[in-house]
Structures are given as C-alpha cells and as structure tokens.
Amino acid sequence: MRVKCPICGEPVEVPDDVLPGELIDHECGVTLEVLMDGNSIRLKPLEGIKEDWGE
Ligand SMILES: [Zn+2]
C-alpha cells in the first residue's frame, strides 16, 4: 500500500504486512516509523522531536 510521507507529501511504499515500529527510509531522506491507527497506517518521522502527533 502507499502512505503519504508526512515530510515531503510523496507516496511511500509500505509492505502490506508491515508491523508497527518498523522503520522505512523515504527517498526524501527522512526515516519514518510505522504506527498503526485502527486499520490505517501512519508514518511518523523518526527524527522528529515533536511527539505531539495529534489527530
Ligand atoms: Zn518523504
């Protein structure tokens, strides 16, 4: 599946069997941590110090 990169807005290829906590490197240079939110997947920039992800 594809999830939008929170940094650059480009699609990120995410394996269908991805697990929460996995790290994915995106071509824009950011490392994204996989978070599960119900049935959907979110990507959080690992280097982001800001923990307040909000809704
Ligand atoms: Zn990106």
Report the alpha-carbon distance of residue 38 to residue 16 in Å, rounded: 15
> What is the residue whose two structure tokens read 């269908």?
16
CA of 38 to the centre of ligand 1 (A): 23
Check pLDDT > 60 for residue 11. yes
Check pLDDT > 80 for residue 55. no
Q: For residue 29, what pLDDT band results from cuts at 50, 70 and 90?
A: very high
Query: Lowest-confidence range among 16-20, 26-30, 49-53?
Result: 49-53
CA of 53 to the centre of ligand 1 (A): 17
Residues with CB in 5 Å of ion ligand 1: 5, 7-8, 26, 28
- Give residue 50's pLDDT: 57
- The percent of residues in the chain predicted with pLDDT above 90, rounded, is 71
| Residue 18, C-beta contacts closer than 8 angstroms, at least 6 positions apart | 24, 34, 41
CA of 43 to the centre of ligand 1 (A): 10
